[in-house]
Amino acid sequence: MKNKQFTSNEQASLADIIYHRRDIRGNNFLNTPLPQVIIDKILASAALAPSVGLSQPWEFVIVRDQQVKQHIADSHQRENEQAEQLFNDEQKKLYRQLKLEGIKEAPINIAVFYKPSIAPILGQNSMPEMGEYSVVCAIQNMWLTARSLNVGLGWVSILNPETVSSRLNAPPENKLIAYLCLGYVKEFLEQPELEILNWYKRQPLNIINDTY
């Protein structure tokens, strides 16, 4: 539709979806199968994300196999033990209580890769990282679409990307940007879990200077 305009109710719905988006962990996923039509909707929203030069440099690998999930989960465990050492004693105690992933619990995992182009991309010459940022935009579309469908999504960042790429037989030039866990959940928390557990608090918007 040309010059599509949105109503105040539609605008409020989008704001509500953004406000209630949550990062889901393994202690919250249900083992209820995720219908293919839901997966397709989430992936379709990713394909509509903005991308530098309309390059659409994303590639998705859907993971259902439990053995593959176990291999990825083992990588998380190794990396998690190293990550714990970065924090002070008080933080370590809380860190050990956190369930930071849902790799095995979520019915669907999706690995999201940046696939660089061999041809020049309009708008990417000065800032080559714009290709990877484009993939992140696609992931945000997935996250918001999943939430609108009452599906939970968790982003697992405590992983060795080379281990994941190798296990999924990704081309060597592809770069892992995200490993996502998707599924229905027991509940969507009122606040982000890390805020509830007093790990960190959401900060107010800080505009440094708006006079330029």
Give me the pLDDT at residue 205, please.
82
Domains of the chain: which residue ranges? 32-196
Q: DSSP secondary structure string, the chain?
A: -TT----HHHHHHHHHHHHT--B--TTTB--PPPPHHHHHHHHHHHHTS--GGG---EEEEEE--HHHHHHHHHHHHHHHHHHHTTS-HHHHHHHTT-----TTTSSEEEEEEE---SS--TT-SS-TTHHHHHHHHHHHHHHHHHHHTT-EEEEE-SS-HHHHHHHTT--TT-EEEEEEEEE-BS---SS-HHHHTTS--PPPP-------
Give me the pLDDT at residue 183, please.
98
At residue 211, does pLDDT exceed 70?
no
Q: Which CATH architecture has domain 32-196?
A: 3-Layer(aba) Sandwich (3.40)
Average pLDDT of span 175-193: 96
The least confident of 9-23, 75-89, 125-139, 193-207 is 193-207
At residue 173, does pLDDT exceed 90?
yes
At residue 95, does pLDDT exceed 90?
no
User: What's the mean pLDDT when you consider all of the chain?
Assistant: 94
